[in-house]
Chain A
Amino acid sequence: NAGVTQTPKFQVLKTGQSMTLQCAQDMNHEYMSWYRQDPGMGLRLIHYSVGAGITDQGEVPNGYNVSRSTTEDFPLRLLSAAPSQTSVYFCASRARQGAVGGYTFGSGTRLTVV
């Protein structure tokens, strides 16, 4: 089925560990973004990309890295996990500038850092 696939769905990390949240889309969308959702805070943009090889920072980029080597994949790396990074992470994609419609979202990764 076409859409945005995120893995894993759930993850528990110890403080200081690193990991990569995977995101893949099969809709040939140029734009991809990572958001985190925390209670009472809504969705905050972490990093985004407008195409392969191009990434930029969002509202809350510290502690996270991204890369976009292909159109399909946009992994999010946590370099050294901290309890403040406990959150639900959503990946989203959309077609290029000028195309109608908003982002298509994945089902999320619930991350707990202990």
Chain B
Amino acid sequence: GEDVEQSLFLSVREGDSSVINCTYTDSSSTYLYWYKQEPGAGLQLLTYIFSNMDMKQDQRLTVLLNKKDKHLSLRIADTQTGDSAIYFCAESIGNRDDKIIFGKGTRLHILP
């Protein structure tokens, strides 16, 4: 079945880069996503990447996709206290990409 795996916790010092990793199982996924959830809030789409791309950069965010290994990563440059949140990796599945399956989320903790 479909599955998305990611580590549950990451601690990073303020100003350093954060790298959150994810593996997925469905090789036919068209889109892969990163969502951010702040305490008490819903999920906010951070960025997405088409499955035929290797990399996507958007300001401080860099997404790398290794389709052969089914590995997705999110790099946050110059990590700030406002980046403290839970980050979810997700993939679209199904013939019409009508389902999105999420990982369990990585809680990013910023050290002063």
Q: Which residues of A contact B (CB under 8 A)?
A: 31, 33, 35, 40-45, 48, 50, 56, 58-59, 90, 92, 97, 100-108
Partner of A48, one of B31, B88, B99: B99
Closest A residue, CB atoms, query B33:
A102
- CB of B42 within 8 A of CB of A107, answer yes
Determine, out of B13-21, B68-76, B102-110, the stretch whose residues face the partner at the interface.
B102-110
Which chain B residues border A56 with CB–CB below 8 Å?
Answer: 98
Q: Which residues of B from 22 to 44 have beta carbons under 8 Å from A? A: 31, 33, 35, 41-44
Query: In the complex, which of the residues A42, A102, A105 contacts B48, with contact meaning CB atoms closer than 8 Å?
Result: A102
Chain B positions 86-112 with a Cβ under 8 Å from a chain A Cβ: 88, 90, 92, 96-105
Tell me how many residues of B have a C-beta within 8 Å of chain A: 23
Q: A102-B35, A103-B45, A106-B42 are in contact. Are A41 and B98 (CB under 8 A)?
A: no
CB of B53 within 8 A of chain A? no
- Residues of B with Cβ closer than 8 Å to A? 8, 31, 33, 35, 41-45, 48, 88, 90, 92, 96-105
Contact partner, A40, options B96, B99, B104, Cβ 8 Å:
B104
Give chain B residues whose Cβ lies under 8 Å from the Cβ of A103. Answer: 43, 45, 100
CB neighbours (8 Å) of A90 from chain B are 42-43
Docked-complex contact B98 and A45, CB < 8 angstroms: no
Chain A contacts for B100, CB-based, 8 A: 33, 45, 102-103
Using CB atoms, name the residue of chain B closest to A106: B42
Q: Which of B41, B42, B100 has the most CB of A within 10 A?
A: B42
> Contact: B31 with A102, CB < 8 Å?
yes
Is B35 touching A42 in the complex (CB atoms < 8 A)? no
Bound CA span A41–B98, Å: 21
Instruction: Please determine whether B48 and A101 come into contact, CB atoms closer than 8 angstroms.
Output: yes
Name the CB-closest residue of A to B96.
A97
Q: Say yes or no: A58 contacts B88, CB within 8 Å.
A: no
